[in-house]
């Protein structure tokens, strides 16, 4: 077996899960996909696709700002421990 080196990366658990599901559908492991990316980058001499800042419309930007504000000040917003609790609150007359 060829020698291997270990690379540790950090990503959000949901991102990892989604990537694993995507690559599994292609018959690949996450490790396979990362190795393909690295080898393609080496052959290309850089990132093998265009990287640019995302462009969002004003409505999306406003939603992003709202979520950022909610994360900074969660005490200012309602939270629920279950979907049922949310529905009960929505159905109440308050």
Predicted confidence (pLDDT) per residue in 20-74, tens digit: 999 999 999 999 999 999 999 999 999 999 989 888 999 999 999 999 999 999 9
Q: Provide the pLDDT confidence category of residue 1 given band limits of 50, 70 and 90.
A: low
Give the pLDDT confidence score for residue 37 in this predicted structure: 97
Give the pLDDT confidence score for residue 85 in this predicted structure: 94
What span, in angstroms and rounded, lies between the C-alpha atoms of 67 and 62?
A: 9
Q: How many CB atoms lie within 10 A of CB 15?
A: 9
Please check whether residue 64 is in contact with residue 56, taking contact to mean a CB–CB distance below 8 angstroms. yes
Give the pLDDT confidence score for residue 56 in this predicted structure: 92
DSSP state of 76: G
């Amino acid at each position: 077996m060829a020698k291997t080196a270990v690379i540790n990366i950090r990503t959000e658990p949901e991102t990892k899960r989604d990537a694993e599901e995507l690559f599994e559908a292609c018959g690949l492991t996450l490790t396979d996909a990362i190795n393909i990316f690295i080898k393609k980058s080496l052959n290309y001499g850089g990132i093998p696709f265009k990287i640019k800042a995302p462009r969002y419309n004003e409505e999306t930007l406003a939603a992003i700002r709202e979520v950022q504000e909610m994360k900074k000040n969660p005490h200012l917003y309602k939270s629920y421990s279950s979907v049922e609790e949310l529905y009960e609150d929505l159905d109440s007359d308050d």
